Amino acid sequence: MYETYRDLPPIQITTQSTEDMPTGTWRTFRPVIDEEKCNNCYFCWKFCPDLSIVVREEGDHPSVDYVHCKGCGICANECRAGAIVMEREPL
């Protein structure tokens, strides 16, 4: 796309959306939500720093966007109901 420093944009920008970056590949542990235990408090959704907890409609159980979730574990740490466990990804 660029050949030399002269071709670079004046400032560092990218037009590509962060949605196209599959940061889920960085993950070592994956959060798994147990819908039996989940009480829909949405703490996980609120605390996720990467917008990787998805709540489609109010009242739905949250789910994980595994394409982007980096596996930081904040959701599991914040879950008061103990409904989220971090499971080792297969090597």
Partner 1 sequence: MIHAITANHAAALAAKLARVEVAAVYPITPQTTISEKLADMVSNGEMEARFLLMESEHSAMSALIGASYVGARTFTATSSHGLALMHEVLMWASGVRRPIVMPVAARTIGGPWNIWGEHMDVITERDVGWMQFYCENNQEVLDTVLMAYKVAEDPSVMLPAMVVVDGFILTHTVDAVDVPNQSLVDKYLPKFAPDPVLDMDDPRRFGGLVMPDWWTEFRYRIATDMEGAKERIREADREFGRLFGRSYGGLVEEYRTGDADAVLVVAGSAAGTAKEVADRLREEGLRVGVARIRVFRPFPSEEIARLSSKKVVGVFDRSFTFGDGGAMFNEVRSAMHGSDNIMKNYVGGLGGRDVTAAHMEWIFRNMIDIGERGLDRKIEWVGLRDGSGRW
Give the C-alpha separation, 69 to 23, whole Å.
7
Q: What is the DSSP letter of 89?
A: P
Q: Does 18 bind partner 1 (CB under 8 A)?
A: yes
Strand partners, 30: 87
Q: Does 49 bind partner 1 (CB under 8 A)?
A: no
**Residues 6 or more apart in contact with residue 47 via CB below 8 angstroms:** 74, 75, 78
How many residues sit close enough to partner 1 to count as binding (CB under 8 A)? 14
Q: Does 20 bind partner 1 (CB under 8 A)?
A: no
- Pick the stretch among 10-18, 26-34, 43-51, 72-80 that binds partner 1 (CB under 8 A): 10-18
- Residue ranges in contact with partner 1 by CB under 8 A: 2, 4-5, 8-18
